Amino acid sequence: LRLAAAEADGVILNWLAADDVAQALAELTGRGPDFEVVARIFVCPTEDAGYARTLGRRLITSYLTVPAYAEFHRWLGREDVLGPVWAAWAAGDRRAAAAAVPDEVVDALILHGSPEHCRDQVRRYADAGVDVPVLALLPTPEVTAGGAAALGELISRLGPPSAVDAGRPAERG
């Protein structure tokens, strides 16, 4: 992060929660005025929390067991909660590793709920200092069942609220 601030026009953050953005930005001292902070944000817009968490656990164990991501999450302060995941993975027990990922870690790293709730959660990244949130849209049962029409509807609901919606409070999922 310090190297990016010193030498690059921006940085792409990955696998972090909205609450982690401030810690990452603190390392970007000396960045230029046009420096952009991009964040890849995993979004699973479904109200089926069990589905989202199962998919999230699979992704988290696949990625956060890679040494660079593991070190990043140690630095972010997740060693206590992810230590059992890393130990099970190192022992070759992939099923136990996935089972060891706590709900709160999944919920922080994989946004899920109604599309409007996910949109509100993405806004938290922007409010924390992310200039360009990039949504990594994960599959959902609703889109699988509804096909292209469901995907189009989902994308419109994830976008900025329309003028019609602007007067209504945001839906919570």
Bridge partners, 133 (sequence order): 39
Beta strands (DSSP E) in the chain are: 10-14, 36-44, 110-112, 132-137
Structural domain contains residue 173: no
Domain count for the chain, please give it.
1
Structural domain contains residue 57: yes
Structural domain contains residue 91: yes
Per-residue pLDDT tens digits for 10-62? 999 999 999 999 999 999 998 988 999 999 999 999 999 999 999 999 999 99
What range defines the domain where residue 47 resides? 41-124+137-160
Structural domain contains residue 8: no
Please tell me the distance from the alpha carbon of residue 62 to that of residue 84, in angstroms, as a whole number. 14
Structural domain contains residue 129: no
Per-residue pLDDT tens digits for 95-128? 999 999 999 999 999 999 999 999 999 999 999 9
Question: Tokens 């209504």 — which residue?
Answer: 168
Structural domain contains residue 96: yes
